[in-house]
Structure 1
Amino acid sequence: MSLNQKITKAVALWPKDELRPWLSFPKTLDTSIRARLQKMPPQQANKQLNALNNLLDNVYWNKYIPKQVVLKPQFKPSYYESLTQIRRKEEKAPLWKRLFKRK
């Protein structure tokens, strides 16, 4: 498999950000990683791609498990879940409500 195919495969598997769907991290990642890996020697580029695939496979998450203090802040333990719920609720709202919502 060529370097470009490996990059395309890894970027396609990258999850979308539920809280900021208007930002396309995979697209940004694709652009920046292609430019950088093209300039590297093949052996170093493969190491970088392996690191990217390890991120996708949660290798580092499982190796360095984050503490609950990070995942559930003391000031509001359900902070991240409530953000996700609010975002989903906004997506389901009719278009006119989303357009004229007061901020």
Structure 2
Amino acid sequence: MSQSQTIAKHYTRILALWPKDLLRPNLPFTRTIERRATPYGVKPVSPPIEEARKGDSSAAAKPAPVVKSTPQAELPQINALFSLLENRYSNKYPVSPGVFKPTSNPEHYDRLMEEIERAPRKSWFQAKMDEWKMKIRWQ
């Protein structure tokens, strides 16, 4: 098996394992990985950028050009992606529970995670109401 076939196989596996971004489904990180893997024969999994942009005039008209790197330079990039998938760094350098429970506002991160989980299911009106509520001081 050639080195470029091995790289394509790694990228295909990474794309299959990469978690979906529920908070920003229109901007998945997998598109970046796909663009990096295209020179090695990996087919895109997500819809083309033009389809996802329909009606979005703020986005650039054309994507950045694909730069083909050498297979030797690609392998460390693949290793970095796998290390992120495996949570290698959070396992190697665990954070104390006190970091997520600051004494000034111990529920902050719990509420933040609840809001992130609710965000994809909100209607436009609910999102605007929450935005306005954040601008008004209730105390």
> Among 109, 116, 135, which residue is 1:84 paired with?
116
Q: CA RMSD in A?
A: 2.6
Query: How far 1:21 sits from its partner (Å)?
Result: 2.3
Q: Deviations over 1:10-51 (max 9, x none)?
A: 1221111222223211112321x3345x312x2332222122
TM-score (norm 1): 0.65
Structure 1 unpaired stretches of 5+: 91-97
4+ residue runs over 3 A deviation: 71-75
Greater helix share, structure number: 1
Structure 2 unpaired stretches of 5+: 38-65, 129-139
Task: Calculate percent identity across the aligned residue pairs.
Answer: 34
SS class of match (2:27): coil
CA distance in 2, matches of 1:72, 1:23: 30
Q: CA 1:6–1:77 in 2, change beyond 3 Å: closer, same or farther?
A: closer
TM-score (norm 2): 0.51
Residue in structure 1 matched with residue 91 of structure 2 by the alignment: 62
How many equivalent pairs are there? 91
Q: Deviations over 1:53-95 (max 9, x none)?
A: 11111112211223442x45653131332213422542xxxxx
Pick the structure with greater CA Rg: 2
Which structure 2 residues correspond to residues 1-103 of structure 1 after superposition, within 5 A?
Answer: 2=5, 3-31=7-35, 33-34=36-37, 35=66, 38-40=68-70, 42-68=71-97, 69=99, 71-72=100-101, 74-75=104-105, 76-87=108-119, 89-90=121-122, 98=123, 101=125, 103=128
Corresponding letter in the other structure for 1:19: L
